[in-house]
Amino acid sequence: MNPIIAANWKMNLTIDQGLVLIDEILDSSPPDNFDIIFFPSSISLNSVSIKLKDSGYSVGVQNIHHENSGAFTGEVSAKMVKDLDVKYAIIGHSERRQYFLETDSQVNAKINNTIIAGLCPVVCIGETLEQREAGETSDILKKQLMSACNNIDRKLDKFIVAYEPVWAIGTGKSASLEQVQDTHKFIDSILKTLFDGNIPILYGGSVNAENASEMYDIKNVDGFLIGGASLESNSFCQIIKNITKNTKRSL
Ligand code: PGA
């Protein structure tokens, strides 16, 4: 499996800024054996998609509504973005859960709709600091995962999970190698009960060039969901370079 490098731009970069960033990244000729996915804001999807045509890299949407159409002011659906050659959708990011009060059942509905539209969901799960300190991490992750995968065909192979501890997002304090190892192993054991095939697990939360190359050596770390470090070509390309150089895994 190629390493999956997902750039979550969140509510950053104008259309022009995003296109300049992609030009810089493409100019640095990242290796072919990486699955690189850009998640720009919804208004940039079309331009980014056109820019990436035939580049081998993909575009994803940061959020979708769980219905295909209707009176939902301000929302976009999976069916709509599919027309823009969007292949992935981040679902259940902790910022959506925290600031937009998305529930586990809404996350499940969005995942179902994403799959019906033919997109691959990138499903985010993660515990808060309080939950980790209270020893609840496994329970929380299991609950989020079981609920997210409710009614999902176990033969599905277009499905990605991103483990993003809430306390590590945008804080500069990533999870330790040991925490990532234990947690990804646990998530993989749950996924094995839910799916027949091998579901990739990304790590997200203050990923940088240094910790990415160390973490990629860990079993069950199949790539990264990168926020801050994806907004600048040097930091983003350095992550890819370091994974290529340092990994003990054969790429
Ligand atoms: P970060 O964000 O890399 O800035 O911590 C990751 C994410 O929220 O996906």
Catalytic residue among 65, 93, 95, 127: 93
- Report the pLDDT value the prediction gives residue 70, as an integer from 0 to 100: 97
Tell me if residue 100 falls in helix, strand or coil: coil
Give 71 Cα–ligand 1 centroid separation in angstroms.
31
Distance CA 7, CA 1 (A): 18
Ligand 1 atom 9, closest CA: 227
Is ligand 1 within 6 A of the CB of residue 200?
no
**Could you tell me if the CB of 18 is within 6 A of ligand 1?**
no
- Ligand 1 and 94: CB distance under 6 A: no
Token look-up 């945008």 returns 170
Query: What's the pLDDT at 245?
Result: 75
Hey, is 168 helix, strand or coil?
Answer: helix
Looking at the domain 4-245, which fold is it?
TIM Barrel (3.20.20)
* The amino acid at 62: Q
Q: How many CB atoms lie within 10 A of CB 188?
A: 17
Q: Is 169 in the pocket of ligand 1 (CB under 6 A)?
A: yes
CA gap 207, 237 in Å, rounded:
13
Ligand 1: residue of 63, 122, 169, 173 to mutate (most ligand atoms within 8 A of CB) is 169
| Angle between helical axes of 45-52 and 15-27 (0-180°, round to 10) | 20
Please, what is the Cα angle at 230 between 47 and 208, to 5 degrees? 165
Q: Where are the domains of the chain?
A: 4-245
| Number of residues that make up the chain | 251
Task: Give the whole-angstrom CA distance, residue 113 versus residue 200.
Answer: 20
93 is catalytic: yes
Are 89 and 124 in contact, with CB atoms under 8 Å apart?
A: no
Q: Which helix (H) or strand (E) holds 12?
A: none
Asked whether 30 lines ligand 1 (CB < 6 A), one says no
Angle in degrees, CA 127, 89, 243, rounded to 5: 70
- Pairwise CA distance, residues 59 & 49, whole Å: 6
| pLDDT of the residue at 136 | 98
Does the C-beta of 37 come closer than 6 Å to ligand 1? no
Q: Which atom of ligand 1 is nearest to the CA of 168?
A: 5
Output the six-digit token pair for 141. 């992750």
C-alpha count within 13 angstroms, C-beta hemisphere, residue 4: 28
* pLDDT for the residue numbered 249: 62
Task: Output the CA 101–ligand 1 centroid distance in Å.
Answer: 19
pLDDT per residue rounded down to tens, the chain (251 residues):
999 999 999 999 999 999 999 999 999 987 889 999 999 999 999 999 999 999 999 999 999 999 999 999 999 999 999 999 999 999 999 999 999 999 999 999 999 999 999 999 999 999 999 999 999 999 999 999 999 999 999 999 999 999 999 999 999 999 999 999 999 999 999 999 999 999 999 999 999 999 999 999 999 999 999 999 999 999 999 999 999 876 556 55
pLDDT at 247: 56
Token pair 């990605």 in the structure block, residue: 160
Task: State the distance from the centre of ligand 1 to the C-alpha of 115, rounded, in angstroms.
Answer: 24
